[in-house]
Structure 1
C-alpha cells in the first residue's frame, strides 16, 4: 500500500540512525547523513529503499518498539520488556477498557491503546498537565488519540470509571489507590503495578492482600542482549537489565 500524508514510517539508515516520523507535506528530516523530504516519501511503500541528499535509507513499517526511537520523553519511561509482560499478564484483549495512572510521557498509554485496538479505550490519569501534553503529542504522532481519554486529575481522589477490565499503576504510592482500583475493576479484573524500589513492592503487595486481590505476584524481569561475532559471541557489556518491579493480582469477591 502506497504511503500517504499522515502515515507513520520508520526511517532506517543504519543501526545507530533510526528515526520515527509522521509524514507531513513540506517537512524535512535532517540527519548527519543527509536529509529526506517528507514529500518524497508519499507514494512509496514500506520496505522501499529511498535516496537521501547523501546516501540512502529504508522505509520500514513501524513496530511498537520504535516509539522508543524518537518520541518525546521528559520523564523516565517503562521499557518494552516490562510493558509487554504487564499487558500479557493483565489478560486484557482488543476492545477492552482500562484505567492507567500516571500518564508520564505516555509510553505505557500508547502501548495499551495500540494493543486494545480501535474499539478499546484507555483512560489515563496524571496530576501534571505538562506531562499529559507531551503524552498527547506522542499519541498524535502515532494516530492513537481517539483511543485515549486524558484526565488531569489525582487518581488518589477516586476513579471515575467502573467495570473496567484492568488498572495499571505507575506512580510513587500505588498502595494508596488499591482500594479505588478494587471498586473500579470487574470481578477477576487485573491490577498491575510498576514500582522502582522494594519498599514500594512490600507496601503495594500487602495492600492488595488486604483488599482481597488474589493470585498476587511480585516480579522482576531481566533482559540481556548478546553481541554476535563468529567465534566470539558473548553478552553485551552494556544493556537494560534491572528497570523495576511488577506486582500483579486479580480482583476476587470479598468473603461474606
Structure 2
C-alpha cells in the first residue's frame, strides 16, 4: 500500500543511522549521508530503496525495536529483552486491563499499546508530569496515544481501577506500592517489577511474598549479539548486557473461605 501523509516509516541507512518518523508534507530529514524530503516518500511503499547523496536508505515498516534508535529518552528505559519477557510472562492479552507505574519515557507504554491493540486498556501512573508529556509525545509519533490513559498520581496510594489483569512497576521503591495495589488486581493477576539493584530485589520479593503473591521469580536476562563476518564470527565488543532485575508473581486470595 502506498505511503501517505501521517504514516509512520523507519528510514534505515545502516545500523547506526535509523530514523523513525511520521510523514509530514513540507518537512525533510537531514543526515550526514544526505537529506530526504517527506514529500518524496508519499506514494512509495515499505521495502523500497531510495538514493541519497552518500549511499542508500531503505523504507521499512516500523517495529517496536526501532524506537531505541529514534525516540527521545531522558530517563533510563526498558529494553526489548526485558519487555518481551514481561509481556509473555504476565499473560496479558489484547483485551486486558493493565496498569503501569513509572511512565518514564514511555517505552514499556509503547510496547503495551502496540501489542494490546485498540481493545486493551492501559493506564499509566506517574508523579512527574514532564515524563508523562514526553511519553505522550513518543506515543504520538507512533499514532498510539489513543490507547493509553495517563494519571498524574502516586500509585503508592492505591489505584482507582478494579479487576486489573496485570500491574507493572518501574519505580525506586516498588515494595511500598505492593500492598496498596493488591485489592485492585484480579485473583491470579500478575505483578511484574523492574529494579536496577539487588537490594531492591530482596525488598520487593519479600514484600510480594508477604502480601499475597505466589509463583514468585527473581530473574535477570542477558542478551549477547554477535558480529558476523566471513571467517570472523564472534560476540560484539559492545552491547546491552545487564539492564536490571525482574521480580514477578501472581495474586492469590489471602482471605480464608469457609
Q: Normalised by the shorter chain, which TM-score bucket?
A: over 0.9
Task: Give the equivalent residue in structure 1 for 2:115.
Answer: 115
Task: Give the equivalent residue in structure 2 for 1:74.
Answer: 74
For the 8 Å contact 1:10–1:62, the answer to whether it is kept is yes
Task: Give the equivalent residue in structure 2 for 1:190.
Answer: 190
How far did 1:54 drift?
A: 4.6
2: CA distance between counterparts of 1:205 and 1:91? 20
Task: Give the equivalent residue in structure 1 for 2:240.
Answer: 240
For the 8 Å contact 1:201–1:245, the answer to whether it is kept is yes
Task: Give the equivalent residue in structure 2 for 1:52.
Answer: 52
Map 1:29-108 onto structure 2 (within 5 A): 29-108=29-108
1: CA distance between counterparts of 2:86 and 2:142? 21
1: CA distance between counterparts of 2:68 and 2:227? 21
2: CA distance between counterparts of 1:139 and 1:56? 28
Structure 1 unaligned regions, length at least 5: none
Q: Secondary structure at the residue paired with 1:81? A: helix
Structure 2 unaligned regions, length at least 5: none
For the 8 Å contact 1:26–1:37, the answer to whether it is kept is yes
2:146 maps to 1:138:
no
For the 8 Å contact 2:155–2:181, the answer to whether it is kept is no
How far did 1:53 drift?
A: 4.8
Task: Give the equivalent residue in structure 2 for 1:125.
Answer: 125
Q: TM-score, normalised by structure 2?
A: 0.97
For the 8 Å contact 1:36–1:53, the answer to whether it is kept is no
For the 8 Å contact 1:163–1:185, the answer to whether it is kept is yes
Matched positions, count? 256
Q: State the Cα deviation string for residues 53-89 of structure 1 (Å, max 9, x = none).
A: 5543110011111011111100010111011101110
For the 8 Å contact 1:161–1:184, the answer to whether it is kept is yes
